[in-house]
Structure 1
Amino acid sequence: MRKIPFVLALFLILQSCQTYKAVSISEITKGRKYQITLTKGQLLETKCQGVADESIALRINGNLMNLPKSDIGQVKKQKTSPLVIIGGIAVAAVGVITLFNASDKESILERTSGN
């Protein structure tokens, strides 16, 4: 019975705080992280470096690349899930309190001093 809260806490901690929301190509802005699926099926996760009329500048493997908008099949914008972040902080706080309450009242210094 005691293991159920710890298993639930583990699942919550392993959840990603980052999710992706589908957006249109015209909504791409400089400085945001995107997951871009090309028309050829290739998937790119990168930060937008700049937007022009016909292309988008992306940094891929350290190189700046201009990607034509016609080659983009689908775009998803990275967004942070506040519920997962709040839940993770709450689980961490409960874990620290639980560990503190379950620990021995005798300190390590008292154990090692021989008294």
Structure 2
Amino acid sequence: QSQYYLASYADKVYMAPDGGVLIKGYSAYSMYYKTLLEKLDVSTHVFRVGTYKSAIEPFIRDDMSDAAKESATRWVTQLWSAFVDDVTTNRNINAKVLNPTMEELLAEMKSVDGDLA
């Protein structure tokens, strides 16, 4: 989708007749190592102050904390909103084109008998 974001600034975008654009949105992933470190008998010593201090979490947890989820959700949502705003403005299209609901996608698939080409 980064390529389409860049292409959205162009006057024209060309694509093969059987091509398509897949815009998946943004997400945040992290690996967590607490159990691994325990199995390897590696100890960590962490000093932190405050709620939103998630940089060290992969070493002291096996999952994302609620505060880290909240923070990641906030910045990913802002990033996606900026992407949609920029692309819809640049291409002069409705946001629904970039961000359809599942029902709209299913209706579109039914209208072409499931043929993606």
TM-score bracket for the superposition, by shorter chain length: under 0.3
| Structure with the higher strand share, 1 or 2 | 1
Q: What is the TM-score when the length of structure 1 is the normalising length?
A: 0.27
Q: What is the TM-score when the length of structure 2 is the normalising length?
A: 0.26
Return the index of the structure with the highest Cα Rg.
1
